[in-house]
Amino acid sequence: MLGRKGVRHLISISDLTNKEFEVLVNKAQTFKQIYKNGSPQEFASNHQKLLGKTVALVFSKRSTRTRISSEGAAAFYGATPMFLGKDDIQLGVNESFYDTTKVLSSMVSTVFARVNSHSEIQQLAEHSSVPILNSLCDTYHPLQAIADLLTIKEAFQDTKGLKLAWIGDANNVINDLAIASLKLGINVSVATPIGIEMDKKILQTAEEVSKETGASFEHTHDPKATATNANILVTDTFVSMGEESETAKKLKQFEGFQISEEHTKLANKDWKFMHCLPRHKEEVTDEVFYNKNSLVFEEAENRLYAAIAALEVFVVNKGDFSK
Ligand code: CP
Ligand code: NVA
């Protein structure tokens, strides 16, 4: 998304062209190599890129992976990360969103923002003079999708024609993961409980991207049909942050949706399992979660390289994907 001041923000994967998304995944892969095996010169030159700058992490919700990866990415570029939790600053409390955003963005080089509603991210992007990197809102989780597609690329090399089977909720993580997968030619099948439907805007974007890449998209309420012939089985928490008061209702809705050996038997014999984490037992059995075919810990580690790639493109290169 292009903000009012011509600043390019990372709000959702839908905002990126297919090529731009591919650039982010490829950069994440390149930076993984540098991070693990780079020469001292490569580290030193990257460390200069944001040296002396600050990177704000405005987080209204808890986080393990997103916080660690964004602070790590800031350190990689020589910037100082500044964690601003919900009780630390006056975002939405005691001061208008506009005033806080103006002040915040006048002093930092970028803002990783984990907020509640999508409208909060939109307000930040509208008023910020520096890139806003959406670090989870109720509708999108783009940094997760970059890491997920890197993980799939590492596991399968060629992504075209794979089948990704999502058995879970219909919110932030799958909204971006579905579009991201379609952009790289992966067929997507989503199974949600009856009564939980995908966002109409996502369905429309999925249709458009499918036409461009030839990958298919379907939405069912049948986990077994979705798992059949899948290369990748994926789920997320059934009760997202902020929905805690609905726990009993949601767990009831998700009965029969736990990913288990039954689903892996329906899937392709070289199936893989993914989960953005944090994981709870009702979502997936231990046999699948800790299986040798499970990619969950590589996927979590890849969040670091996704955050480095996002900083490189949106902050260091100021939204220029051609560099
Ligand atoms: N997957 C993910 O975003 O994890 P955290 O909530 O721990 O950041
Ligand atoms: N859907 C989950 C994702 C956490 C990374 C949530 O919003 O809590």
- Is the pLDDT score of 195 beyond 90? yes
Tokens of 320: 């220029």
Work out the pLDDT band at 4, boundaries 50, 70, 90: low
- Is the pLDDT score of 89 beyond 90? no
- Is the pLDDT score of 158 beyond 70? yes
Query: In this predicted structure, what is the pLDDT of residue 3?
Result: 66
User: Which residue, 121, 146, 117, is CA-closest to 131?
Assistant: 121
Query: In this predicted structure, what is the pLDDT of residue 92?
Result: 76
Query: In this predicted structure, what is the pLDDT of residue 289?
Result: 98
d(CA 238, ligand 2 centre) in Å? 9
Query: Cα–Cα distance between 289 and 292 in angstroms, integer?
Result: 9
Please tell me if the CB atom of residue 45 comes closer than 6 angstroms to any atom of ligand 1: no
Q: How many CB atoms lie within 10 A of CB 89?
A: 18
Amino acid at site 208: E
For 233, the enclosing helix (H) or strand (E) is strand 232-235
For the stretch 281-316, pLDDT in tens is: 999 999 999 999 999 999 999 999 999 999 999 999
pTM: 0.98
Residue the block writes with tokens 């919900």: 86
Tokens of 201: 């805007």
**Protein residue closest via CA to atom 7 of ligand 2:** 240
For the stretch 254-272, pLDDT in tens is: 999 999 999 999 999 999 9
- Is the pLDDT score of 279 beyond 80? yes
Query: In this predicted structure, what is the pLDDT of residue 96?
Result: 85
Backbone dihedral angles phi then psi of residue 215, each to the nearest 5 degrees: -80, 150
Query: In this predicted structure, what is the pLDDT of residue 6?
Result: 85
- Is the pLDDT score of 84 beyond 70? yes
Average confidence (pLDDT) over 93-121: 93
Q: Ligand 2, from 136, 239, 274: best to mutate by most atoms within 8 Å of Cβ? A: 136
Active-site residue flag, 276: yes
Query: Cα–Cα distance between 54 and 52 in angstroms, integer?
Result: 7
Ligand 1, residue 135: give the atom nearest the CA.
3
d(CA 44, ligand 2 centre) in Å? 35
Strand, coil or helix: 244: helix
**Structural domains of the chain ordered from first start:** 4-141+303-316 (3.40.50.1370), 145-300 (3.40.50.1370)
Work out the pLDDT band at 59, boundaries 50, 70, 90: very high
Q: Ligand 2, from 59, 118, 144, 237: best to mutate by most atoms within 8 Å of Cβ? A: 237
Please tell me if the CB atom of residue 64 comes closer than 6 angstroms to any atom of ligand 1: yes
Query: In this predicted structure, what is the pLDDT of residue 265?
Result: 98
Query: Cα–Cα distance between 121 and 38 in angstroms, integer?
Result: 35
- Is the pLDDT score of 90 beyond 90? no
pLDDT > 90 in the chain, percent: 93
For 78, the enclosing helix (H) or strand (E) is none
